[in-house]
Chains A and B, each alone.
Chain A
């Protein structure tokens, strides 16, 4: 890191559904300490929060919007055509999601509307995965809604989403903690927050079985990526992993205030070190 030039700071928020709201606590903590962020990278659940931050939503505004956007109602409407394709292969159409995308898209549109990446106050990258090739796809232009829809396309829950010419799925399938993007963009200090998928002790249905397998693969990928990028590069990755004393499930939005509090607490502990790195 050069002593004369201010290091570039990135905030990376990886996958983790509601737990990613801890990034709002992190945001509050940085704001209190007067530490600016030069770029934001979000993946899956993390894309919802990084998009809000990049667009300049306040913390309270983001909490309200998240509660409205991300709750169990978003998965209530089944995708019957896709489910029929399980029994009747001729109805199967390239990709699959048990849940209709309509409620999700309606909510995303109500929160982000026609906002594009050009509207962001801080440069934003949202991660998705190319459904055909499996490569990770950093999205930096176009409509925010499309980028988030692709980034949160949890396998088996929502189908792939077309962005431009590419069919995209959940970013966590290829890059659940995308610190590599921040490194590539020249960040020297990377604040990294992300969460492994919870593993349920009991698997009571075929859909839970599919989630379970997906979680195992994603968690191992998460570790491999984080390990490689921590060991192989010279950027300073500051892991901010809040502690939770209770299980936080996929749609536990009532736990958001607690999750934010834990994110703030975990970040507060690192503020003196971050200030030293930035010569503040």
Chain B
């Protein structure tokens, strides 16, 4: 699992690889550090995420909770079909804002 941060009005954190029991803690730490470094609003670009287990779902929930606890929001963009299937099966579309593209996720913070 790797992350790349693209700074902007709202920072975009692109995640690649697998989010599972072996990598979720590291990802949570990265998201939380970023949120508490003065970036309460975060967009996670999931286009390059290849696999996600329940540990990955818990990492998303923890990050959403963290961002909202400091007045921001954690939004997701562009999950692949396989990852989106897991997100839908877990009902995450009802609790997390998920957009088909990074551009739409960025625009959502302006609205």
Contact = CB atoms under 8 A, between A and B. Distances in A.
Counting contact residues on chain B (CB < 8 A from A), the size range is 20 to 34
A269 B82 CA distance: 12
A238 B53 contact: yes
A227 B90 contact: yes
Given A241-B86, A273-B20, A277-B21, A235 B91 contact: no
A51 to B, nearest CB: 24
Interface in A188-214: 196
Interface string B9-27: 0000000001011100000
Interface string A117-148: 00000000000000000000000000000000
Contacts of A236: 20-21, 53-55
A223 B89 contact: yes
A238 B53 CA distance: 5
Contacts of B51: 269-270, 273
A1 B25 CA distance: 14
Nearest to B20: A273
B53 A231 contact: no
Given A236-B21, A277-B21, A227 B91 contact: yes
A243 B83 CA distance: 12
Interface residues of A, number: 23
B99 interface: no
Contact of A237 (B53, B82, B91): B53
Contacts of A238: 20, 53-54
Contacts of A1: 21
Interface string B27-49: 00000000000000000000000
Interface in B82-107: 82, 85-86, 88-92
Nearest to B61: A231
Contacts of B81: 243
Interface of B: 18, 20-22, 51-55, 57-58, 61, 81-82, 85-86, 88-92
Across the A-B interface, the 6 shortest Cβ-Cβ residue pairs: A237-B54, A230-B54, A223-B91, A227-B91, A227-B90, A236-B21
Given A1-B21, A233-B54, A235-B54, 10 more contacts: A222-B89, A223-B90, A227-B91, A231-B90, A239-B86, A273-B18, A273-B20, A273-B22, A273-B51, A276-B22
